[in-house]
Amino acid sequence: MLYALYEAGYYGSTPLRLTARATRDFWSSSLNPARDTPVGRRLFASADLFANLTRRYGRPDWNIHEVMIDGEPVRVRKTEVWRTPWVRLIHFTRNMADMRKAGRTSLEPPVLIVAPLSGHYATLLRGTVEAFLQDHEVFVTDWSNARDVPMLEGRFDFHDYIDHIRDALRFLGPRPHVVAVCQPGPPVLAAAALMAEDDEPSRPGTMTFMGSPIDARLSPTVTNKLAEERPFAWFASNMIYTVPAPYPGMGRRVYPGFVQLFSFMSMNIERHQQAHLRYLEDLMKGDGDSAEKHLEFYDEYLSVLDLTEEFYLQTVKTVFQDYLLPKGELTHRGRLVRPEKIGDIGLLTVEGENDDISGIGQTQAAHALCSGLPEALKEDYVQPHVGHYGVFNGRRFREEIYPRVRGFIRRFEAKVDKRAAANAAE
């Protein structure tokens, strides 16, 4: 019912939204002699803010067309290389002629960046992708909006997620590197453990976990405490709604993206209110640069997707209530997941000092679980002065975190090359 009411509210506000757009266009027109007056700027700013707050935010564009590599511009093309109804595997292909100009003539290690399926689109990792493109062939999981997947395609749950990660790694070939950002940590670790136990050629070379709830019992945050305090039945009764018409997935039971967005925004409501007030003031002052930065952030932040009922509820119970992976009780398709069987996959964990989503220690827990790994293949890093978003985006990520991830992968690749050379000599 809530989903239908939400849609009715959007369509019901259409006349007001159209009026606001017309007002905004009128007071920003170069033909209006009063547009630069205090009254004109105030009317324009108010109309623009209302139009932006009430409009529909769709899937954002990646807008990655070029990256700088060793001082040379390299063109980038986005290509879909594999898909299911639930995910598209995107390859960001770098132009080879430009790569040669930058002095890069050999193949570089492939990296699979597993985007979170927790309410936002994969484009939230735009900055992450741009950083990795400097040194790697980059592939990203671009998850589907559940409301756009017809009921005929069936279910998608926590274990289907694990299977999708395994299939994506197999598609990339021998020993690709995998980076899990936030939510994917537990299923990616489970996929790696299963592939390691089976000695699959496509098991990861290294796995990097960034701000991931591997063990959500440690340093619990507001989000973790909510999951503990509420019984499982509460989530099933209060967080799940039916997709209405005219969406392709109408009738599907989902955890709507707008519910997730409201939950996140309510945690920092004053900060968001102040941000919009500053935006209003910037427009009235004519500060277009500051206003544009605000729009860039909220165009991404307010773009949300729905999760299937089964995936959301299983994640709540498996990761945030029963803690099955760290307790050694997680099973997948009848098999016990045993991270201790991982023996030759490099492990790097990255956490943010001020992370209010995944507290310090939750990601580091992967080291204890992967007890079969030699210490030489393990590294941990806590980035000072950053919160959850700063672990995978922003200046400190580009300048301090990414170089550590790059160095970790390079050291693993160097060991592989050394072993290959030794075997060839024999």
Q: Are 282 and 290 in contact (CB under 8 A)?
A: yes
Q: What's the CA gap between 397 and 381, in Å, rounded?
A: 12
Q: Token digits for 60? A: 């954002």
CATH superfamily of the domain spanning 78-231+307-425: Alpha/Beta hydrolase fold, catalytic domain (3.40.50.1820)
Residues across the chain:
426
In this structure, the dihedral spanned by the alpha carbons of residues 369, 371, 377 and 383, taken in order and rounded to 10 degrees, is 40
Over residues 178-198, the pLDDT tens digits come to: 999 999 999 999 999 999 999
DSSP 113-145: EE---SSB-GGGGHHHHHHHTTTSEEEEEEEPP
Which one-letter DSSP state was computed for residue 99? H
How many C-beta atoms surround the C-beta of residue 188 within 10 A?
28
pTM of structure: 0.91
pLDDT of the residue at 38: 85
Amino acid sitting at position 267: M
pLDDT of the residue at 422: 57
Low-confidence ranges of the chain (pLDDT < 70): 264, 267, 287, 416-426
Over residues 241-259, the pLDDT tens digits come to: 999 989 999 999 999 998 8
Domain definitions of the chain by residue range:
2-56+257-301, 78-231+307-425
Which of 226, 270, 7 is closest to 278 using CA atoms?
270
Q: Strand 307-308's sheet: what is its strand order?
A: 241-242, 253-255, 307-308
Alpha-carbon separation of residue 247 from 4, 7, 52, 147, 378 (angstroms):
11, 11, 23, 6, 46
What ranges make up the beta strands (E) of 48-101?
A: 66-69, 72-84, 87-94
Please enumerate in sequence order all residues whose Cβ is within 8 A of that of 228, keeping only pairs 6 or more positions apart, or say none. Answer: 220, 320, 321
Distance of CA 353 to the CA centre of its chain: 19
